[in-house]
Amino acid sequence: MRNFSKYLLTMMILLISSSVVLAQLRVTNSGGKSPVLPESRAVLYQQTNSSGAGMASQDFETVYDAYDCQGADDFYVPAGMQWTIQTITATGSGSTTATLVHVYIYADNAGMPAASASTTLMNLTCTNANAVLTINIPGNIVLGPGHYWVSVQDASPYATYGQWYWTRTTSIYNSGACWRNPGNGFGLGATTWTYMANIGYPNNDFMFRLEGTSGPVPTCDYRIDLYDHYGDGWNGGYLDVLVNGAVVLDNITLASGSGPAIYYFTVNSGAPITTIFYAGGWAYECYYYIFNYMGAQVWVSDGYGSYVPPPNILPGQLYGNCPAQGAVEGYVFNYDGLAIAGATLTVENGPTTTSQPNGYYIFEEVNQGSTTIVCTKPGYILLSQ
């Protein structure tokens, strides 16, 4: 009996100790006005106006999984633009020592984040200045035009680093912020993405800033080749090609023969490419290939073996992928270091220019990656390129 009482007492002590720890976890706090750190790069987007209060957004240890929670807030990349996000700053309160975070980017789904992230970056290190987290993004996040949501989640062990709270604003930017707690440990019922206003926090967004570079969305030319297996053309069949939902090639066809009938169309990076095939006679004989800007085949639609018309390219199956472009500049000199004017410089599979009187040249639009630039002038021998 004595041993039983001893074990029972030990179990009670453990249970009481556990309940005390859990009671320290809070869904919100009042941490006072949060500082806004000076930017380190060009600001793409930011939300300020601190409310002085924060909301939990943290991936806790396994024992506290029921309390795992996330905040998320939205932003827009303007039409025709591409953002390269290099740094994310999330203003917060609470833990001033947490230096590990998860970062997620979600597509918009009818005014709130999609169920699954399009970009997931786990266990990133960050700097912590009075609970303001500055996160340098490895490899950057590149986004085309559209409506997106960002989520920053503290991933440092709670038992060691405590709890971090994402600071709320006093006004709404774009759509209202969302929050979720899948295990419902905090008892608010927000097990899926829920507007903050629906859990008692109206007119609140989260404080964050996106930094990096911005430029026009890269565009390039794709090619589509139409063929016929029998060799008598498409017999009244025709095809529409759409980029981002808009028709760019209308009613193209192979009038006769085996083909190819070749057409070009312009795409921008990230834009969905789709097709609509309208059958004529012997539609299963028709087929087509799509090639990217480098001439590499990226799609074939052919239903011949199944005796069905060529299958359409559906949304989500093929996206434009164009290289980013930048300027290349330099000088042309002879062996003695004297400027050479009028030298011809050519980018491999690209533009041509000539050097100015001081030897200077510039190419405004060169595709990213490794390339070869050849320099020639009558009477000179090329030493390097």
202, 264: one domain: no
Per-residue pLDDT reduced to its tens digit, 56-114: 999 999 999 999 999 999 999 998 898 999 999 999 999 999 999 999 999 999 999 99
Distance CA 64, CA 73 (A): 24
- Residue 7 domain-assigned (yes or no): no
- Residue 50 domain-assigned (yes or no): yes
95, 192: one domain: yes
- pTM for this prediction: 0.66
48, 105: one domain: yes
- Residue 10 domain-assigned (yes or no): no
Per-residue pLDDT reduced to its tens digit, 214-267: 988 888 999 999 999 999 999 999 999 999 899 999 999 999 999 999 999 999
Per-residue pLDDT reduced to its tens digit, 144-174: 888 999 999 999 999 999 999 999 999 999 9
119, 208: one domain: yes
211, 225: one domain: no
- Residue 11 domain-assigned (yes or no): no
225, 184: one domain: no
Count of domains observed in the chain:
3
268, 167: one domain: no
Distance CA 162, CA 96 (A): 9
Question: Given a cut of 80, is residue 41 above it in pLDDT?
Answer: no
Write down the pLDDT at residue 325: 64
Per-residue pLDDT reduced to its tens digit, 312-367: 999 889 999 998 766 788 888 887 888 889 989 888 767 889 999 898 888 766 76
- Residue 383 domain-assigned (yes or no): no
250, 194: one domain: no
State the average pLDDT for the chain.
Answer: 88
57, 154: one domain: yes
Range of the domain at 154: 24-216
Those residues with Cβ within 8 angstroms of residue 320's Cβ, 6 or more apart along the chain or in another chain: 220, 222, 243, 267, 268, 269, 270, 271, 272, 273
- Residue 382 domain-assigned (yes or no): no
What's the start-to-end Cα distance of the chain, in Å?
91
Distance CA 335, CA 25 (A): 72
339, 372: one domain: yes
Write down the pLDDT at residue 383: 64
| Residue 181 · residue 68 · CB < 8 Å | yes
If you average pLDDT over residues 8-26, what whole number do you get?
39
Q: How confident is the model at residue 24 (pLDDT cuts 50, 70, 90)?
A: low
